[in-house]
């Protein structure tokens, strides 16, 4: 008796693949595709409705709802996700409240709530950029990423800070009003720390000067932004954009700040060998969690800049267990992406537990965190993805630990005839 798809009723002779479930139930690849497209449309419609509610009706997800959405894409970093969820909620509540003209007994009608700009502090690959991207995607607001290392003071070779706003306007398809409710993420912000030796002596085009140039747009001002990248000219047509309602999120690894924190938190009054050992044995993530504006000032960030970033969220260094979870658990997980690519060729892709652990260990060794996982996977999967599509007899490919550590070839299952793949 021929096996049939339980959705469309087509038998195995009229479909490309049948995927086996419980109790000998099957679903074909075509039905899976239709279900996937339907889910994607539902999610897109949901995001569109959310966008309308945020910008037009004033309704907003609660901090718990925002964090729950972040949890679907980001493993761990609970404290950072809570902090930024509250900050985002308060930011858009502030915007909506200014329109509503809320009156509170005992408070002046002129009471103004400051912007909830956020500074993310954490090692490379800990999820800073992903958090910012996911927040913007969740709220469906315009989003722009800038690299602080490319920014310079006006008059020097490099990008002016206004180039950040141009990216945001472009992300909003030229709609300035929409861009004024968007989110900007500035990465590598620690790279523009002021040099202790040169501060206040000479112009620092890569440090203090850039921080000062960012102050106005971060706090809130009306900026004239050239419609085309490049230097301003008297005849250049410009956008006028008010940045008072743009949420700025800055992120940086702040490599070496642990020494500053240790110096501050070290108990000078402690005596005895045990006390010294305990202080030096502090875990890195525990140390980073204690970072203060004082530590950041000593690192080279100006008081004026930090004053415009009132919220500091710290991210811990990801351990092996967390990296394995990142590979497999989030929506759009990397392993699932490769499984999908191989399934398009009719191949079932498997990863042994030891292989996943080896990938995580290599990322830790390379000090790349989650950011380096894709690079490692591309190296492992290059040959299988090159060779297997030319071999019609292959039905499954298993990545073992030795594939990661020794570069050996994966385990391949072959058959002379096509059969269903169990999932």
Q: DSSP states of 386-421 as a string?
A: HHGGG-TTEEEEEE-HHHHHT-PPPEEEE-SS---E
Q: Which domain holds residue 384?
A: 319-422
Per DSSP, helices labelled H in 140-283 are 162-171, 176-179, 208-219, 257-265, 273-280
**For 219-229, how does the pLDDT look when each residue is reduced to its tens digit (9 = 90+)?**
888 888 888 76
**For 339-357, how does the pLDDT look when each residue is reduced to its tens digit (9 = 90+)?**
999 999 889 999 999 999 9
- Give the pLDDT confidence score for residue 420 in this predicted structure: 39
CA distance 14 to 29: 11
pLDDT at residue 194 greater than cutoff 50: yes
Residue 134: C-alpha distances to residues 43, 128, 320, 414 (Å): 14, 10, 23, 40
The last residue of one of the domains, among 254, 284, 314, is 314
Q: Which of 23 and 409 is assigned the larger pLDDT?
A: 409
Q: Under a CB-based contact definition with an 8 Å cutoff, are residues 81 and 319 in contact?
A: no
- Residues 272, 348 share a domain: no
Confidence of residue 19 (pLDDT cuts 50, 70, 90): confident
Per DSSP, helices labelled H in 241-352 are 257-265, 273-280, 284-288, 293-299, 303-307, 320-328, 334-343
Lowest mean pLDDT among 7-11, 172-176, 277-281, 389-393: 277-281
- Residues 286, 412 share a domain: no
The last residue of one of the domains, among 314, 343, 372, is 314
**For 33-79, how does the pLDDT look when each residue is reduced to its tens digit (9 = 90+)?**
888 888 877 766 655 554 444 544 456 889 999 999 999 999 989 99
Q: Residue 373: which CATH number? A: 1.10.8.60
pLDDT at residue 83 greater than cutoff 80: yes
| Residues making up the chain, counted from first to last | 423
**For 55-68, how does the pLDDT look when each residue is reduced to its tens digit (9 = 90+)?**
444 568 899 999 99
How buried is residue 38: exposed, middle or buried, by Cβ count under 10 Å (0-12/13-18/19+)?
A: exposed
- Give the pLDDT confidence score for residue 86 in this predicted structure: 94
- Residues 304, 329 share a domain: no
CA distance 10 to 13: 8
CA distance 377 to 404: 9
Q: Under a CB-based contact definition with an 8 Å cutoff, are residues 64 and 43 in contact?
A: no
CA distance 100 to 105: 16
User: Number of structural domains, the chain?
Assistant: 3
φ, ψ of residue 222 in degrees (nearest 5):
-95, 115
**For 91-150, how does the pLDDT look when each residue is reduced to its tens digit (9 = 90+)?**
998 887 655 555 566 555 566 777 889 999 998 888 999 999 999 999 999 999 999 888
- Give the pLDDT confidence score for residue 421 in this predicted structure: 40
């Amino acid at each position: 008796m021929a096996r049939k798809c339980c959705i469309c009723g087509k038998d195995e002779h009229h479909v490309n693949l049948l995927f086996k479930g419980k109790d000998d139930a099957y679903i074909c690849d075509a039905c899976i595709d239709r279900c996937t497209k339907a889910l994607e449309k539902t999610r897109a419609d949901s995001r569109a409705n959310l966008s309308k509610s945020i910008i037009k009706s004033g309704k907003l997800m609660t901090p718990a709802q925002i964090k729950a959405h972040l949890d679907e894409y980001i493993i761990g970093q609970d404290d950072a996700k809570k902090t930024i969820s509250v900050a985002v909620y308060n930011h858009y509540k502030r915007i909506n409240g200014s329109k509503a003209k809320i009156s509170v007994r005992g408070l002046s009608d002129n009471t103004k709530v400051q912007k909830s700009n956020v500074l993310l502090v954490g090692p490379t690959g800990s999820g800073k950029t992903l958090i910012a991207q996911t927040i913007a995607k969740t709220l469906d607001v315009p989003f722009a990423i800038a690299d602080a290392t490319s920014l310079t003071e006006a008059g020097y070779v490099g990008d002016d800070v206004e180039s950040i706003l141009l990216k945001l306007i472009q992300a909003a398809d030229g709609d300035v009003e929409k861009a004024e409710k968007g989110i900007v993420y500035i990465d590598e912000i620690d790279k523009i720390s002021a040099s202790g030796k040169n501060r206040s002596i000479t112009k620092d085009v890569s440090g203090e000067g850039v921080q000062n140039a960012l102050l106005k747009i971060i706090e809130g001002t009306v900026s004239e932004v050239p419609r085309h990248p490049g230097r301003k000219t008297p005849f250049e047509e410009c956008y006028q954009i008010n940045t008072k309602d743009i949420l700025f999120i800055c992120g940086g690894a702040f490599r070496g700040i642990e020494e500053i924190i240790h110096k501050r938190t070290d108990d000078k009054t402690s005596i005895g060998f045990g006390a010294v050992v305990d202080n030096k044995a502090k875990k890195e993530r525990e140390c980073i969690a204690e970072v203060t504006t004082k530590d950041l000032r000593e690192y080279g960030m100006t008081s004026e800049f930090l004053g415009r970033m009132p919220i500091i969220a710290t991210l811990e260094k990801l351990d092996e267990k967390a990296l394995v979870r990142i590979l497999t658990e989030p929506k759009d997980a990397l392993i699932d992406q490769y499984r999908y690519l191989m399934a398009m060729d009719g191949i079932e892709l498997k990863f042994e537990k030891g292989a996943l652990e080896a990938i995580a260990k290599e990322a830790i060794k390379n000090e790349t965190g989650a950011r380096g996982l894709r690079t490692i996977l591309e190296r492992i999967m290059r040959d299988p993805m090159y060779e297997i599509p030319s071999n019609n007899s292959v039905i499954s490919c298993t990545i073992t630990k030795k594939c990661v550590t020794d570069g050996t070839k994966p385990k391949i299952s072959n058959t002379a005839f096509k059969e269903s793949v169990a999932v």
